[in-house]
Amino acid sequence: MKQDLIVILDLGSTQNTVVAREIREFGVYSEIHPHDITADGLKALENVKGIILNGGENRIVDGAAVQILPELYDLGCPMIAIDYPQSQCAVNYDQIPDRETLKRFIFEDCKAQANWNMKNFIEDQVERIRHQVGDKKVLLALSGGVDSSVVAAMLIKAIGQQLTCVHVNHGLMRKNESESVVKVFRDELHANLIYVDASERFLGKLENVADPEQKRKIIGSEFIRVFEEEAGKLEGIDFLGQGTIYPDIIESGTKTAKMVKSHHNVGGLPEDLTFELVEPLKQLFKDEVRACGVELGLPHDMVYRQPFPGPGLGVRCLGAITRDRLEAVRESDAILREEFAKAGLDKKVWQYFTVVPNFKSVGMKNNARVFEYMVIIRAINTIDAMTASIEHVDWEVLDKITGRILAEVENVNRVCFDMSPKPPATIEFE
């Protein structure tokens, strides 16, 4: 079913997503669009019930205040303006309207229906995907992260065997991670899944490479190469599935907003891309993506997992990657996750992981001198990953984790806890 839509026009506010989220929390679908959208552009969005002119501190672009096209006033669509002095509509606010005012505008002035929920969203997207793809084939790089997993589940529901998923194991995955991707998607959801174990190839390319940026570049470009090789073996693929989500689009910069960071899903696609994109999550915020995954029947652990960088454990095995230290990172990370889950910290702490630096320290094992590596534990909380504070983990929990790491992980004789907030530290070490 088509859902009612409230459009937010970005006239330089820094609060667009806050307003969009608030409207969606009322159960009404909302999208952010650029200020210079045309009347025809708005009509094409279908079911627009109301427009919010959302002004703010970035209103001045190239010395002039941005304005909407006058033709929008003739649409007969209810409008309110927030911090937008040029508006011809009745109400003008300074900041975010309070919830009651927003609610009155949406339900009384716009007469919008609260019909935005995951069931309807999935139904609507399934219909759109089938319409876009027809009887053609779609290829998807399935990393096992939240976004690609939810896209895969959505595409399986919409087009089943017309989807081919490729999972590249770059050898830098966490313990049992690739196995779980295969189990869920191939065995349980019966997806057409190609599993590529490229561990040796990646580790070979990374041998003796110590510079963090160089490591990231090698992992990123090798990943695309492996994926392209697999795609080349398939025939008749016209579409590429992508786990682009709403913040990726917003953070990559709108006309008035300042660019936060360029995102690999939006700006970094190869220029000679010959596929058309299928991006069924591109209007969802992260928590909505998770809700969508749950509704599609994905396991809780897969949908609520903590963020994991694309280069994987490669950026946590510091300096030039060696197999012994990579194993130490993988095993200690598994112990940390297990013990955090037992202590209930997995639901409380935003991100937690271990790091193994590339130097040794002196220690004693079985009455003999040893010279071995150390494991650093990092546990942080953040809202948006731009700043972060450390979790004050109980000594008892840390004690237990330390004991297990020292007893179970080879080549390790020391465990440390990283006390540094971001800034000045970053969340990851490389």
| Residue 312 binds to ligand XMP (criterion: CB under 6 A) | no
Residue 212 in the binding site for ligand XMP (CB under 6 A): no
Q: Report the 3 state secondary structure along 56-92.
A: CCCCEECCEECCCCHHHHHHCCCEEEECCCCCCCCCE
By the rule CB under 6 A, 266 interacts with ligand XMP:
no
Applying CB under 6 A, among 247, 310, 357, 363 the residue interacting with ligand XMP is 310
Which position among 351, 381, 411, 420 is part of the footprint of ligand XMP (CB under 6 A)? 351
380/393 with CB nearer ligand XMP:
380
> If binding is defined by CB under 6 A, does position 219 make contact with ligand XMP?
no
For ligand XMP, what does the binding mask look like between residues 373 and 402, x meaning CB under 6 A? ------------x-----------------
* Cα 267 from Cα 391, distance rounded (Å): 34
Q: Which of residues 404-423 bind ligand XMP (CB under 6 A)?
A: 422
> In the set 267, 307, 344, 403, which binds ligand XMP (CB under 6 A)?
307
- 238 or 251, CB closer to ligand XMP? 251
Token readout for 229 is: 């090789």
Which residue from 38, 31, 39 is spatially nearest to 5, judged by alpha carbons?
Answer: 31
Distances (CA, A) of 330 to 139, 343, 347, 377, 386: 29, 20, 21, 13, 26
Helix (H, G, I), strand (E, B) or coil at 34: strand
Give min distance, CB of 284 to ligand XMP, in A: 17
Quick check: 267 binds ligand XMP (CB under 6 A)?
Answer: no
CA angle 188, 193, 198 (to 5 degrees): 125
Site map 122..161 versus ligand XMP, x via CB under 6 A = ----------------------------------------
Nearer to ligand XMP, 124 or 428 (CB): 428
Q: Which stretch binds ligand XMP (CB under 6 A): 83-91, 194-202, 228-236, 308-316?
A: 308-316
Q: Which residues contact 237 (CB under 8 A, 6 or more apart)?
A: 137, 138, 139, 164, 231, 275
